[in-house]
Amino acid sequence: MGRIFITGSTTGLGLIAGTQLLERGHQVIFHARNATRADELRDELPGNPQIVIGDLSSIDETLQVAAQVNDLGPMDAVIHNAGAGYGGLTRRTVEDLPDTFAVNVLAPYILTAKINRPARLVYLSSSMHRVRPNWDDILWQKRAWNGSQAYSESKFFVTALAFAIARLNPQVFSNAVDPGWVPTRMGGQGAPDDLKAGAATQVGLVGGDAGPLSELSGQYLHHMTVTKPSEGTMNQQAQDQLLVLCAELTGITLSF
């Protein structure tokens, strides 16, 4: 059985994935944005769940999350599930970054760089990633804010990150998963897809029991099926450009 860390796992898909993995006998490390959410999760789950705490919109707190995870020992897998949605006005972080980019892209980058090398990585994407990002203004310093476009671009970038990791580190199984439009707090209660189906692919991948899919890397999956991502996410120049930006923003360079 494996030891698996899941970001953003106090509610929604992260919590469902965590509870399913626990039921299958895996050791799960949950993640809460703050102590209040951690306490709520302890009240909800049986036993004494392991929970790390930190706000992934902050570079410093994301580094603290990585340190907490490493203190618990080596992980077999990480599900980068945490996400910032796109409703309302722009929300900028303490580093003056759009929270959609900070949480959806930069935090997975930092955690990938700093958590001691899991064998399996899953990055949560979205069907909304099929956009053409504005490479000249990734951080929305010049453009008028468009929450939907910012969210879509962030999912393009995290998908490209998943593929970059697979390309640069063949020893790691790194994939992007589209869980569908599911009725989470972010997706809204009117979302048409099924929550359990939305969690099944990432659970199968990190649990190593997804059949032939468990041996795939650098793929985009939806409901246990390999599908075609936006071609731009597979462009090596685009992947490298993203990695350079993340390194510049964080002072952290990925090394393999």
Residues with catalytic roles: 151, 155
Q: Count Cα atoms within 13 angstroms, Cβ side, for 28.
A: 29
DSSP string, 38-94: HHHHHHHSSS--EEEE--TTSHHHHHHHHHHHHHT---SEEEE-------SS--B-T
Tell the residue number behind the tokens 């929305």, with chain if given. 140
Q: In whole angstroms, what is the distance from residue 148 CA to residue 127 CA?
A: 12
Residue 188 three-state SS: coil
3-class secondary structure, 111: helix
Strand order through the sheet with 120-124: 50-53, 27-32, 3-6, 77-80, 120-124, 173-178, 220-222, 225-227
Give the Cα separation of 107 and 105 in Å (integer): 6
Taking Cα atoms as reference points, which of 217, 226, 96, 232 lies closest to residue 157? Answer: 232
**What pairs with residue 27 in β-bridges?**
3
